[in-house]
Amino acid sequence: MTDDASAGLAAPARGLSIKSAVMTPAYRNYALGVLMLAYTANYVDRQILSILLQPIKLELGLSDTQLGFLSGITFALFYATLGIPIAVWADRGNRRNIISLALTIFSGMTVLCGSVTNFAQLALARIGVGVGEAGSSPPAHSMISDMFPPEKRAAAMGVYSLGINIGILIGFLVGGWISQWYGWRAAFYVVGGPGLLIAILVRFTLREPVRGHADGLTAQGEGAAPRIGEVFRLLWAQRSFRHIAFGSALAAMGGYAGVTWLPAFLARSFAMTPGEIGTALALIIGFSGGAGTYLTGVFADRLAKRDIRWNVWVVAIVVGLSFPFCVALYLSSAKAVALAIFVYPAFAGAAYVAPSLAMTQALVTVRMRAAASAVLFLVLNLIGMGLGPQLAGVLSDLYHKAYGQESLRYALLTISIVWIWAAVHYLLAARTLKDDIERARLHGLR
């Protein structure tokens, strides 16, 4: 966040007029803070299932493959595919109102998850959460890009992306202890409600920014939004975007598999209670993960002033280093050692997000930004969120005959190779990034 971030977040308390504050540094940072709160609610509701997998498995009698289906494909398929039409809507309509509506839907469906009695009902409720969350991020990415100039955009995306880590912190901490004290159903009820209040905050305290404002392209920003086919063609014609998309998807696969199944792994391999697991993972992912998400965006912005390719080089370094730490984590036989090693994978878990989003925004015109984010998230979530947890569950069931209670340990170890694969894609993206950004600039001038 910029140097005057504290002033911006405090602005409403000093009676600052929202109408007059639009695009001042104070309002801009206040708006970023509210959008981050919305993303936090998004991730709390998305990840609460992770800490509850083991008690749900025991009560409903589900297999790891079924749990992986609930955590991955069930959610990701609707979240990723519906993101495209909603993003097209956002490039034409009021992004603030779309975000508010999305918050209302996914928060309500999270509450509904606490009332299910079987696998089919829980799957349908999770689909509802995915439908609601599909309308949250792409419009927010577009708004942020219209509020912050290119040289501050990765850092701003990093602040917004802190919602991932704060959401996981709250989800694990609240979900773990509420589940232990009152049962897993109560955890869904408790975390779903706050999103409804944030929806009101978004609707009545934020204003729709002028498209292209931060790029000095207001006149272009007022034009008609291109069709989704044009956005696809422009992005897919750029080799750097293809590598960024697949690199982020593979990093997401490792991250989602880990964050989804780590609570069950700690319960099975180290006999930790839900409260212990929730506290440990909340602190590690919340603080170490938050630092990684934010600092990677900040360093990418600073180093990119010398060479724009640092946006992807930084990510390649951070995610590539995750591999040896994950191997050590899943081969560890001591609880304290495993949790200590997890500090670095947690740091790197969402570090790819901010620079990837910033570069995706740079590779399109101002009227394509929400749709461009949705295209990136389509690839990222179908592969990362959809396949990561599901593959871990399938492998765990397949390994059960050989490894018994420890099958999940070796399933997660197998998936860890994706961190190296992701780093390779980011290194390849650097080869054509400069030329592709120039191609997007010329496309916007046509």
**How would DSSP label each residue in 193-246?**
HHHHHHHHHHHHH--PPPTTGGGT-HHHHTSPPPPHHHHHHHHHT-HHHHHHHH
- CA-based end-to-end distance of the chain: 34
Task: Specify the pLDDT at position 69.
Answer: 80
Task: Specify the pLDDT at position 201.
Answer: 93
**How would DSSP label each residue in 353-384?**
HHHHHHHHHHTS-GGGHHHHHHHHHHHHIIII
Q: Which residues contact 110 (CB under 8 A, 6 or more apart)?
A: 45, 48, 129, 188, 191, 192, 195
Each residue's pLDDT, cut to its tens digit, for the chain (446 residues) gives 444 433 333 344 343 334 434 578 888 889 999 999 999 998 888 878 888 888 888 888 888 888 888 777 777 777 777 777 887 787 778 889 999 999 999 898 998 998 888 988 998 888 888 888 887 877 888 888 888 887 777 788 878 888 887 888 888 888 888 888 888 899 999 988 888 899 999 999 998 887 766 555 554 444 556 777 888 888 888 899 999 999 999 999 999 898 889 988 999 999 898 888 888 988 898 889 888 888 887 888 888 888 889 999 999 999 999 999 999 999 999 999 999 999 999 999 888 888 898 888 888 877 777 778 778 888 888 888 888 888 998 999 999 999 988 999 999 999 999 999 999 999 999 999 988 888 877 765 45
DSSP one-letter code for 66: H
d(CA 163, CA 198): 13
228-236 and 369-380 helices, crossing angle to 10°? 60
Task: Specify the pLDDT at position 403.
Answer: 92
Task: Specify the pLDDT at position 216.
Answer: 57
d(CA 32, CA 340): 32
**Residue owning tokens 């509420």:** 178
Q: Within 93-221, where are the H helices?
A: 95-113, 119-133, 137-147, 150-182, 184-205, 218-221
* Closest CA relative to residue 297, chosen from 358, 370, 228, 220: 358
Task: Specify the pLDDT at position 4.
Answer: 41
d(CA 107, CA 265): 28
d(CA 350, CA 162): 9
Task: Specify the pLDDT at position 365.
Answer: 78
- Do the Cβ atoms of 309 and 430 come closer than 8 Å? yes
DSSP one-letter code for 334: -
Signed CA dihedral, 172, 202, 91, 150: sign only: negative
Q: Which residues contact 121 (CB under 8 A, 6 or more apart)?
A: none
Spell out the domains of the chain, with CATH numbers in brackets. 20-210+227-445 (1.20.1250.20)
d(CA 348, CA 334): 22
Task: Specify the pLDDT at position 224.
Answer: 59
d(CA 127, CA 175): 20
Question: Which pair of structure tokens corresponds to residue 404?
Answer: 């018994």
